[in-house]
Amino acid sequence: MALGSSATSVASSAGTAAVSVAVANPSTAASAISTVTTGKSPLEHAASAATKQDCNFLNALGPKPICSDIPVPTIKDMSEPYPGPADSLPTSK
């Protein structure tokens, strides 16, 4: 019973510590949430937006470039004209 109570108080104080860190450092909390949610830090999002490329700063640890072009799929126009009444030629009587 004492072990369960001890574990509960440790978990509670860890949760309280995490909340107090998030309140004390909102930019760090936002950065952590962004990284977990999107896989990119806010600075990587800013670099990607500024360069119009996909940037990942961890690529600097390997042979890949930090920012790389975003592949754009080719688009084939499959639309067809849909003539309406105004598109028909006037007939003379």
One digit per residue, the tens of pLDDT, for the chain of length 93 reads: 444 444 444 444 444 544 555 455 666 777 888 888 888 888 889 999 999 999 998 888 999 999 999 888 999 998 988 888 888 777 666
Spatial separation of the C-alpha atoms in residues 88 and 92, rounded to whole Å: 12
Q: What is the model's pLDDT at position 30? A: 76
Torsion-angle region of residue 52: left (phi > 0), alpha (psi -120 to 50) or beta? left
pTM of full prediction above 0.85: no
Is there a contact between 27 and 20 (Cβ–Cβ < 8 Å)? no
Helix-helix angle 2-24:26-38, to 10 degrees: 100
Residue 71: C-alpha distances to residues 19, 57, 74 (Å): 39, 19, 9
Q: What is the model's pLDDT at position 9? A: 45
Closest by CA to 56, choosing from 73, 39, 72, 71, is: 39
Q: What is the model's pLDDT at position 74? A: 92
